[in-house]
């Protein structure tokens, strides 16, 4: 079985990849990464991110206001986000969420922004991409409140939060995405959280250029390294790498329907 895997979250517009994108995409293909979703974290960069997706047939994109920018960037409207959904390669809303680790002072603005993104997800039927750090209680509360008000689909991207938040997300039918953090030697508790989750709710990602998994830790991450995290995921679930890749790719297709193979 040939390895085929999806990097469900990367940032190909970041300066780290300037002038190198053709090579980065080629290395990803060679490593078995068949598709990538590149994420826009600030709306003034949306045209640039869209252009990357339009250039490469195996790259899709999402857009939103990152929670760490919610207190400083202009607020995005529901209509702004919904308007992007007509593009054939726009496949998700976000990333959005809550980050109290670095920007707790903007908690209220972050929560308001999160609710706007959730409503856009509802209206478009596109999945929501959630960033959560240092805000587990508020995150679980808002996700549940909003889901009771009207269902939506969601992935907890780069999941590294508590078992309680994982359980809350899974109870709502959401997905957990495994990044290079899960491959770090000291991430035993995080791997245990993933091991307790249903296999059909797991995605993989790089969050590149950040969080490169071993053996590249400390260097720039890139989509080709998805396979290193997937290798750890396969061990967590007692599967071969090919079996884990097949399962997580099927999960991606189920959630990101516009990017489905």
pLDDT at 132: 97
Give, in order, the Cα–Cα distances in Å from 203 to each of 6, 144, 154, 250. 8, 21, 11, 9
CATH label, 5-259, candidates 3.40.50.720, 1.10.101.10, 3.20.20.140, 3.40.50.2300: 3.20.20.140
Query: Do strands 59-63 and 154-156 pair parallel, antiparallel, or not at all (unpaired)?
Result: unpaired
pTM here is 0.96
pLDDT at 199: 98
- 3-class SS at 38? strand
Residue 261 has pLDDT above 90, yes or no: no
Alpha-helical runs (H) found in the chain? 21-30, 46-55, 78-84, 100-103, 107-124, 136-149, 163-171, 188-195, 226-237, 241-255
Supply φ then ψ for residue 34, to 5 degrees.
-80, -30
What are the counts of helices (DSSP H) followed by strands (DSSP E) for the chain? 10, 8
pLDDT at 37: 98
pLDDT at 168: 98
Residues 219-245 pLDDT 10s = 999 999 999 999 999 999 999 999 999
Could you tell me the pLDDT band of residue 254, with boundaries at 50, 70 and 90? Answer: very high
Residue 1 has pLDDT above 70, yes or no: no
Could you tell me the pLDDT band of residue 106, with boundaries at 50, 70 and 90? Answer: very high
Could you tell me the pLDDT band of residue 2, with boundaries at 50, 70 and 90? Answer: confident
Residues in the chain: 261
* Token pair listed for 255: 């959630």
Residue 114 CA to residue 56 CA, distance in Å, equals 30
Residues 145-191 pLDDT 10s = 999 999 999 999 999 999 999 999 999 999 999 999 999 999 999 99
Nearest CA among 236, 238, 173, 227 for reference residue 205: 227
Looking at residues 49-53, what average pLDDT do you find? 98
Residue 251 has pLDDT above 60, yes or no: yes
End-to-end CA distance of the chain: 17
CB within 8 Å of 57: residues ≥ 6 apart: none
Residue 203 CA to residue 224 CA, distance in Å, equals 15
Could you tell me the pLDDT band of residue 136, with boundaries at 50, 70 and 90? Answer: very high
Average pLDDT, the chain: 97
């Amino acid at each position: 079985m040939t390895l085929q895997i999806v990097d469900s979250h990367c940032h190909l517009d970041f300066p780290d990849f300037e002038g190198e994108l053709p090579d980065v995409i080629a290395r990803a293909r060679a490593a078995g990464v068949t598709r990538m979703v590149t994420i826009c974290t600030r709306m003034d960069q949306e045209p640039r991110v869209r252009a990357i997706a339009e250039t490469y047939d195996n790259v899709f994109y999402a857009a939103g206001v990152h929670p760490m920018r919610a207190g400083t960037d202009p607020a995005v409207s529901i209509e702004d986000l919904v308007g992007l959904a007509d593009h054939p390669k726009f496949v998700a809303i976000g990333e959005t969420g809550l980050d109290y680790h670095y920007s707790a002072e903007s908690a209220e603005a972050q929560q308001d922004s999160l609710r706007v993104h959730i409503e856009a997800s509802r209206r478009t039927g596109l999945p929501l991409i959630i960033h959560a750090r240092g805000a587990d209680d508020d995150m679980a509360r808002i996700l549940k409140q909003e889901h009771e008000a009207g269902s939506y689909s969601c992935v907890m991207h780069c999941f590294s939060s508590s078992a309680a938040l994982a359980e809350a997300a899974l109870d709502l039918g959401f997905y957990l995405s495994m990044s290079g953090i899960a491959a770090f030697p000291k991430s035993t508790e995080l791997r245990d959280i993933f091991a307790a989750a249903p296999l059909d709710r797991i995605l993989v990602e790089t969050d590149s250029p950040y969080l490169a998994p071993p053996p590249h830790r400390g260097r720039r991450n890139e989509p080709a390294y998805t396979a290193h995290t997937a290798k750890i995921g396969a061990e967590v679930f007692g599967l071969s790498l090919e079996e884990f890749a097949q399962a997580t790719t099927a999960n991606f297709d189920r959630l990101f329907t516009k990017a489905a193979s």
